[in-house]
Amino acid sequence: MTRDEQFMRLALAEAQKAAENGEVPVGCVIVYKDQVIAAGRNRREKGKSALAHAEIAAIRRACRVLGGWRLWECELYVTLEPCPMCAGAILNARIPRVVYGAADEKAGAMGSVFDLFSFPLNHKPEVVSGVCAGESRALLQAFFEKLRQRPKKKWNKNTQPPEQT
Amino acid sequence: MTRDEQFMRLALAEAQKAAENGEVPVGCVIVYKDQVIAAGRNRREKGKSALAHAEIAAIRRACRVLGGWRLWECELYVTLEPCPMCAGAILNARIPRVVYGAADEKAGAMGSVFDLFSFPLNHKPEVVSGVCAGESRALLQAFFEKLRQRPKKKWNKNTQPPEQT
């Protein structure tokens, strides 16, 4: 197993925990000098927040651990290609290396829908894609398959609608 | 004074508070059914977090107030053009209307460096720019002018570097 696969397995374990909590399974770890210093998983439904993505949770914790907003000696591992918000957070935190698993054709901002780092911004990390992508996709597919088998909840405009796939 | 200018003045008041705390002056308010339900200001240095932008703080609070991650009946007012992270957070929260003040030529993701909403993503808000832009720019210019007059702090690689302009 490569070094990147080893760390990605830890991110996959976070994704698995998200699935067990009824959340879309995406997990993330942040590595500093070969040590995992922060982990995060998607908890958008339970956390009731548009910001509760795995990468945001992990970046918040890593900033706390290192005592500042610059994570310029860290690597970020995430099971799914980051969305625009998370790619932007990686940019703002000056993370120099990002490793992701499965591509996200609907919302991926590191090559799928567009590539954030193709624009003249003030930071450009190294990006490695496709690490343990099969395992990441399998987790997501199993989650959505289970979701489709559930009876649909009804909702009205005065409450939050049920989760979307 | 227009309705947009009225709400933008509240965002400018948040930006002013940021400046008073030694932070780059950017402020934001979120409006739901003509009422301000959340406000936020930049506190990246004091908060020691790459995520501590005005919009992120306001979106977090608005999600808490409304009890869910979808802010589909809200308007967001921010004094400076959102960066990629914040534009992505607006997308994730499904905010249908964004009003901003000054353009950000270095990091703006709503037309300056690139336009996030020109890509085929699953949400596209109405965007209004240039509201109270002069006041917003004046606050930023005064802040950076003051910063340049300060003696420079020394730093080494083991600590976080001083704030950048």
pLDDT in tens, A131-147: 999 999 999 999 999 98
CB-based contact A107:A88 (threshold 8 Å): no
- For residue A151, the model assigns a pLDDT of 77
Asked whether residue A50 carries a pLDDT value surpassing 70, the answer given is yes
Each residue of A116-128: pLDDT tens digit? 999 999 999 999 9
d(CA B131, CA A65): 39
Question: Which chain B residues are Cβ-neighbours of A71 within 8 angstroms?
Answer: 50
Residue B152: band (very low, low, confident or very high) from pLDDT cuts 50, 70, 90: confident
Maximum distance among all Cα pairs of chain B, rounded to whole angstroms: 50
Each residue of A74-99: pLDDT tens digit? 999 999 999 999 999 999 999 999 99
CB-based contact A155:A161 (threshold 8 Å): yes
Smallest Cα–Cα separation from A109: which of B84, B81, B49? B84
CB-based contact B94:B70 (threshold 8 Å): yes
**Closest Cα of chain A to B38: distance in Å?**
14
d(CA B11, CA A134): 45
| pLDDT averaged over every residue in chain A | 93
Asked whether residue B25 carries a pLDDT value surpassing 50, the answer given is yes
Secondary structure class of B103 (helix, strand, coil): coil
E-assigned strand segments in chain B: 27-32, 35-41, 74-80, 97-102, 126-128
Q: Which residues of A touch B (CB under 8 A)?
A: 44-45, 47-53, 56, 59-60, 63-64, 66-71, 83-89, 91-94, 106-107, 109, 113-114, 116, 119-122, 159-161
B121 to A84: CB separation less than 8 angstroms, yes or no: yes
- For residue B165, the model assigns a pLDDT of 38
Task: Single out the catalytic residue among B5, B20, B45, B55.
Answer: B55
Smallest Cα–Cα separation from B107: which of B83, B137, B80? B83
E-assigned strand segments in chain A: 27-32, 35-41, 74-80, 97-102, 126-128
DSSP B153: P
d(CA B115, CA B102): 15
Handedness of CA A86, A89, A93, A95 (dihedral sign): positive
Gyration radius from chain A CA atoms: 16
Each residue of B60-104: pLDDT tens digit? 999 999 999 999 999 999 999 999 999 999 999 999 999 999 999
**Catalytic site includes residue A55:** yes
- For residue B121, the model assigns a pLDDT of 97
Smallest Cα–Cα separation from B54: which of B159, B154, B139, B152? B139
What pTM did the predictor assign? Answer: 0.91
What are residue B36's DSSP bridge partners? B31
B70 to A49: CB separation less than 8 angstroms, yes or no: no
Question: Which chain A residues are Cβ-neighbours of B45 within 8 angstroms?
Answer: 69
| pLDDT averaged over every residue in chain B | 93
A87 to B92: CB separation less than 8 angstroms, yes or no: no
**Closest Cα of chain B to A71: distance in Å?**
9
- Residue of higher predicted confidence among A158 and B132: B132
**Secondary structure element (H or E) that encloses residue A34, with its range:** none
Q: Which residue has the tokens 């894609």?
A: A129
Query: What spatial distance separates the first Cα and last Cα of chain B, rounded to whole Å?
Result: 32
A88 to B84: CB separation less than 8 angstroms, yes or no: yes
d(CA B35, CA B12): 17
d(CA A54, CA B145): 38
Question: Which chain A residues are Cβ-neighbours of B59 within 8 angstroms?
Answer: 49-51
B116 to A56: CB separation less than 8 angstroms, yes or no: no
- B129: its two tokens: 């720019």
What are residue B97's DSSP bridge partners? B75, B126
- B139: its two tokens: 């606050």
Q: Which amino acid is at B8?
A: M
- A4: its two tokens: 């990147």
Residue B156: band (very low, low, confident or very high) from pLDDT cuts 50, 70, 90: low
Q: For residue B93, give the chain A residue with the closest CA.
A: A50
Question: Mean pLDDT over residues A150-155, rounded?
Answer: 70
